Amino acid sequence: MAFEREREEMVVRQLEARGIHDVRVLDAMRRVPRHRFVPSELIAHAYEDTPLPIGEQQTISQPYIVALMSEALELGAGARVLEVGTGSGYQAAVLASMGAQVLSIELLPSLALRARSVLAELGLDDRVRVLEGDGTLGASDAGPFDGIMVTAGAPQIPRPLLTQLTPRGCLVLPIGEQDVQTLVRLRRSEQGLTEDYLGECRFVKLHGAYGWDQH
């Protein structure tokens, strides 16, 4: 299979070596062809330890960050996930390959169109639905969600997303300044919200009603 060895090396050297333990995450990232989600001129770099540009001033995240955020959601079997910022569609493909049902919202129509196409070609369109719109508002008519993931740097926690979590759901997002953020997991429970800090990261800016457009 094309790039199978590269995917295995990516998992061993970039993910397992850095402490990613969730077998479902590792298996999904062994299976999902990351090279299908990058521009053709960058295919040779698809499994490198770096984010890559995908057009529209957006990027496909570094594989380790995709794995870390996927693991942080603590998803159970058949979990329902909202993704804010479809981008290339790779993160949604990984979540779907873990067994989740994913609703992904993308602000940029050109990226949404391409992601839908690639996901369909890979047979994942039955597990991932891509909508166009302001993901910072969530999708209240389709919730609640067991996990919500924001894949762009936010200046604040988009409050509508917190109301769309199930009682034990997790929200994972990068939050902070425009050039550097902290990856945060908010876990909902009967006692309220708990926060875990998962390290420093760098994402493109989150746009929308609860993004940088209001700052």
At 83-139, the pLDDT tens digits run 999 999 999 999 999 999 999 999 999 999 999 999 999 999 999 999 999 999 999
Give me the residue spans of the domains in the chain.
Answer: 4-214
134-152: b or e for each residue (b if 16 or more CB lie within 10 Å)?
bbbbbbeeebbbbbbbbbb
**Looking at the predicted structure, is the pLDDT value of residue 215 above 70?**
no
C-alpha to C-alpha distance for 29 and 134, rounded to whole angstroms: 28
Least Cα distance to 66 among 82, 44, 51, 84 occurs for: 51
Which pLDDT value is given to residue 61?
Answer: 97
Per-residue model confidence (pLDDT) at position 1: 54
How confident is the prediction for the chain on average, in pLDDT? 95
Closest to 83 measured CA to CA, from 71, 93, 68: 93
Mean pLDDT confidence for 149-153: 97
Which of 61, 70, 88, 104 does the annotation list as catalytic?
Answer: 61
Active site residue 97: no
Alpha helices by DSSP H, listed for the chain, are 4-9, 23-31, 63-72, 90-97, 109-121, 159-162
CATH of 4-214 given 3.30.70.120, 3.40.50.150, 3.40.640.10, 3.40.50.2300: 3.40.50.150
Kindly report the pTM of this predicted structure: 0.95
DSSP state of 52: E
Mean pLDDT to the nearest integer, 65-94: 97
